[in-house]
């Protein structure tokens, strides 16, 4: 049993175990942040209780893009919003009868299945602002958290 | 040599104990964090809470709030500027049959002076939902101001903040 657990050289096995634990702590603490999604705002893309990772390296070399599903921090990384980016910096975003309009043009959103007739007056985003929204547009607009998020709040991109 | 070594070990041990005692008990940031934890625990309601326990909880909350407390929901939301009104609002905040759990997470504390401190945190409220399989979770960011009055940290101001803003 001892040989099965520790191999022929316990010292090497111990070093491997410590390296494995350290790598896991770094990867899952700072690179791929594990997340349990709660709520229905991202249906049908993500269901309530789905498990995923936020990839914190995704935006190291490129800015967030339209269509990306991102994790947005609140006061810290323990509780985060998961939303889809629909508007980019300096764009004008509005919602007319459930259709998201970017600079006056309707946005094609294949991930949105049902749309309620939401209406939101036009807003022009700042240099560091993104407009984020969940995929579940069948729910009531007042029950759905969406809007502008500044770049520094976007922690990473959903891995799956 | 041996006795010198023992003395050094004892001194290091005493310094460590002193440091951790200070951090845990006397450090103002720890004291503020502990007080916020007490507030969150008192705002939480276990399932099947009795009326007597509820009244006791409200009496406890009175100790944690300044008389001239200001509470605002969002930058443009309604403001309540009286401890009695806040307590009345909390008394009217009826939990579901399964109770509710209030947690302050990601708490960042700045102690401005011996008698004033600020906290930036996320308030997370979890309520078991009888119909859905999973509990309902609501979370909001908040800025909290505290002051030390009569030797106790009390909340003087609390304002929730929208993470995602819209026009």
* Span A50-103, pLDDT tens digits: 999 999 999 999 999 999 999 999 999 999 999 999 999 999 999 999 999 999
Q: Considering only alpha carbons, which residue of chain B is nearest residue A40?
A: B136
Q: What is the DSSP letter of A144?
A: S
**Inter-residue contact B61 to B87 (CB < 8 Å):** yes
CA distance A68 to A30: 20
CA distance B105 to A116: 34
- pLDDT tens-digit readout, A8-56: 777 888 898 999 999 999 999 899 999 999 889 999 999 988 999 999 9
Distance from CA of B127 to the nearest CA of A (A): 12
Q: Which of A74, A121, A146 sits opposite B141 (nearest CB)?
A: A74
Among A16-25, B61-70, B96-105, which is the least confidently predicted range? B96-105
Long-range contacts of B152-155 (CB under 8 A, 24+ apart): B152/B35, B152/B63, B153/B31, B153/B32, B153/B35, B153/B117, B154/B63, B154/B64, B154/B65, B154/B66, B154/B69, B155/B39, B155/B64, B155/B65, B155/B66, B155/B69
**Inter-residue contact A135 to A112 (CB < 8 Å):** yes
Residues of B with CB under 8 A from a CB of A: 105-108, 120-122, 124, 132, 134, 137, 139-142, 162-167
Say what the pTM is: 0.84
């Amino acid at each position: 049993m001892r040989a099965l657990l520790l191999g022929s050289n316990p010292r090497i096995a111990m070093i491997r175990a410590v390296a494995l634990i350290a790598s896991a702590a770094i990867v899952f603490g700072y690179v791929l942040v594990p997340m349990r999604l709660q709520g229905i705002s991202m249906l049908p893309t993500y269901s309530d209780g789905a498990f995923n990772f936020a990839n914190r390296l995704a935006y190291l070399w490129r800015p967030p893009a339209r269509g990306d599903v991102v994790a947005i921090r609140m006061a810290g990384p323990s509780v985060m919003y998961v939303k889809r980016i629909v508007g980019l910096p300096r764009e004008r975003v509005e919602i007319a009868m459930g259709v998201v309009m970017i600079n006056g043009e309707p946005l094609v959103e294949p991930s949105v299945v049902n749309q309620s007739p939401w209406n939101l007056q036009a807003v022009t985003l700042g240099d560091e602002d993104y407009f984020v929204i969940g995929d579940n547009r069948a729910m009531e607009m007042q029950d759905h958290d969406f809007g502008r998020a500044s770049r520094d709040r976007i922690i990473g991109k959903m891995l799956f | 040599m041996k006795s010198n070594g023992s003395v050094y070990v004892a001194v290091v041990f005493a310094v460590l104990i002193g440091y951790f005692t200070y951090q845990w008990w006397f450090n103002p940031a720890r004291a503020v964090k502990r007080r916020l934890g007490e507030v969150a625990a008192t705002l939480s309601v276990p399932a099947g809470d009795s009326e007597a326990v509820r009244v006791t909880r409200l009496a406890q909350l009175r100790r944690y709030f300044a008389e001239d407390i200001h509470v605002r929901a969002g930058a443009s939301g309604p403001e309540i500027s009286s401890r009695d009104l806040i307590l009345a609002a909390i008394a009217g905040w009826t939990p579901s049959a399964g109770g509710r759990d209030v947690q302050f997470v990601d708490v960042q504390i700045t102690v401005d002076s011996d008698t004033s401190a600020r906290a930036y945190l996320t308030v997370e409220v979890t309520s078991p939902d009888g119909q859905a399989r999973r509990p309902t979770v609501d979370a909001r960011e908040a800025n909290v101001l505290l002051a030390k009055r009569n030797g106790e940290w009390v909340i003087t101001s609390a304002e929730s903040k929208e993470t995602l803003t819209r026009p």
